[in-house]
Structure 1
Amino acid sequence: MTQAEFGKRVGLTGGAISLYEKGNAPPSDKLASIARELGVTVDELLVGETFSQEPIQTLAGSAKSARPNIAELYTQVPFLSIRAQAGLPQIDYNDGVMNWVEETYPVFLPLVPINEKHLVIEIQGDSMEPEIKSGAVVLGQAITKDDIKYESGGVYAIIYGNNRFVVKRIKTNDLMTTGSLILWSDNEKYGQIVVPASELHCMWKITHKVNEHVR
C-alpha cells in the first residue's frame, strides 16, 4: 500500500504519513484510525518504535526535561456506538456511569479531567450534520437524573424508552411544564422526537469531538 493510499483510509495526506514514518507523532484524533488500519491497539502503536517522537515536558524547578510514555497521556473511556443500542441491557443506568461497558476508546484531552461520568460515543447517520458528521467520535459527560430538567442549549446523548440511544439537540427544556422533552436533529429533514419524562433513562452532554472523519 502506498503512503497516499494509506493516508486516504485514515483521512490524511500521503505526505503526512511519510512524516510519521520518519518518527513524527501523528495527531491524537487520528491515532485510533491509524491503529485500526494497522491491526494494532493504540497502546501498541504508541509504545512501538515507529512513532518515537514523544512530547517533551519540562519538570518544575529543574532545567532538565523528560520524555514521558505518550500512552500515559491518554485516558481510556467507556465507548458506545449509536449502532449498539439494540444490545443495551435492561439495567439501572445509575446516572450515566457505564461501568458495565467493556469496550473503551483512548481520549487525549490533558486539560479536561476525565472520570467515570464520561462516555465516548460513535455517531452513525447524518441527523446531526453539519455540526456532527456521521462516523464522528464525541465525548459526553453524564447529567444526573435530578439535573436533566435543567439542561438545554446543547447537544446530548440520551437513552430513553426501550433502550433507544440517540444524539440530539435540546433547544428548550419543558420537562417541568409539559412533562416531556423535545429532542431536535440539526439536519432539518429528520425533525424532532418528543420523550415523556418517565421514559428518560440517562443523558450525557456532548462536550468535545474526539475524532471526526474528513469528507
Structure 2
Amino acid sequence: MKNRLAQYLRVKHLSMRAFAEKCSINVSVLSRISEATSPANLKHIDESSDLNVDWLLTGEGEMLKRAIDMGTSSTSVVSEKPFRTYFKEENVRMVPLLNIDSVGGMHSANEVGEYEPEFILDMLPFKGAIQGDVAIKETGDSMSPRIPSGAIMLLRRVMEWQEYFGYGHVFVLVLTDGRSITKRGTNGVENPNEYVLCESINPSYPSEELPKKMIFSVWKVIDVLVHEGY
C-alpha cells in the first residue's frame, strides 16, 4: 500500500503532507499506511480524493476513481470540457495524458520545449486502449478538420517501424531533434527505404519528404478526442 500511495502521489504531484491535509489525516498515520489502516481513514481518502481505495488496498483495477462521463471530478484538467459521450460505454481504460504536444507543421516548434521534463497531467478514459498507450495534445491546424488544434490523441507505439511503417495511417513522429509532428505517412517517394512522405489533412499545407534517419520513434494515432463546445 505504501508503494501504491507513493505512485499515486507522484502522478498527482502531491506531497505526503499536502495529501494528508486534503484528507484530514495525520501525516504520520498516512506515511505508515497499511492493510490495517482504519476504515475511517480510508473513508476520508475515498471522500476527499480521486484515489481508488480498492486499488490502494489490492492493486487491482484503476488507480483513479474517475466518473466515466468525466463530469464530476474537479481534479481533471479536461473534466469541464464536453468530450464525446462514449465515456459512458464499458471497456474503457485509463490512459496517461502527458504534458507534451505534437504539431501539424513540420517546421513548427512544439508548445512544450524539448528540455521541459515529461510528466503525467491526468488519466483519461479511452475505449479500446491497451497497456502502453499514451495521450497527448495536438497543436496547429495542418491536420484539421480530422485532428483540430487542441484535440487529444490516443497514441500507440509502432515498435518495428523501420521494417513496416504501416503507410496510409496518421502518426505522431518523434524526431531526433526533440520535436513531435503529426502527419499521415505514405510511401509516395522515389526512395521509400530512406524517406517517408508526410501528408497533411488540411489541403493548405503541402506534403513533404522526411528522411527516416530523422525519426526517433513512431506512434500511431488510434483515436482522437475533440472539444466540440456547447
TM-score using structure 1 length: 0.55
CA distance in 2, matches of 1:173, 1:104: 37
Counterpart of 1:132?
147
**Stretch of structure 1 that moved more, 199-208 or 185-194:** 185-194
- RMSD, aligned α-carbons: 3.6
CA distance in 2, matches of 1:200, 1:175: 18
CA distance in 2, matches of 1:147, 1:132: 25
**Stretch of structure 1 that moved more, 145-154 or 194-203:** 145-154
- Selected match of 1:196 from 182, 192, 211: 211
CA distance in 1, matches of 2:135, 2:121: 8
Structure 1 unpaired stretches of 5+ = 1-24, 46-54, 58-72, 90-99
Counterpart of 1:213?
228
CA distance in 1, matches of 2:149, 2:167: 23
Structural mapping, 1:74-93, within 5 Å: 75-79=94-98, 80-82=100-102, 83-88=110-115
Counterpart of 1:119?
134
Q: How far off is 1:210 after superposition?
A: 3.0
CA distance in 2, matches of 1:164, 1:184: 17
1:114/1:177 CA distance change after superposition, 3 Å: closer
User: Do 1:123 and 1:133's aligned partners in 2 also have CA atoms closer than 8 Å?
Assistant: yes
Paired residues in the alignment total 148
Percent identity over the alignment?
Answer: 16
- Selected match of 1:185 from 200, 209, 214: 200
CA distance in 2, matches of 1:149, 1:85: 30
1:157/1:134 CA distance change after superposition, 3 Å: same
User: Do 2:183 and 2:198's aligned partners in 1 also have CA atoms closer than 8 Å?
Assistant: yes
Aligned partner of residue 113 in structure 2, secondary structure: helix
Equivalent residue letter for 1:41? T
CA distance in 2, matches of 1:214, 1:171: 33
CA distance in 1, matches of 2:143, 2:166: 18
Q: Work out which of the two has the higher radius of gyration on C-alpha atoms and give 1 or 2.
A: 2
Q: How far off is 1:84 after superposition?
A: 4.1
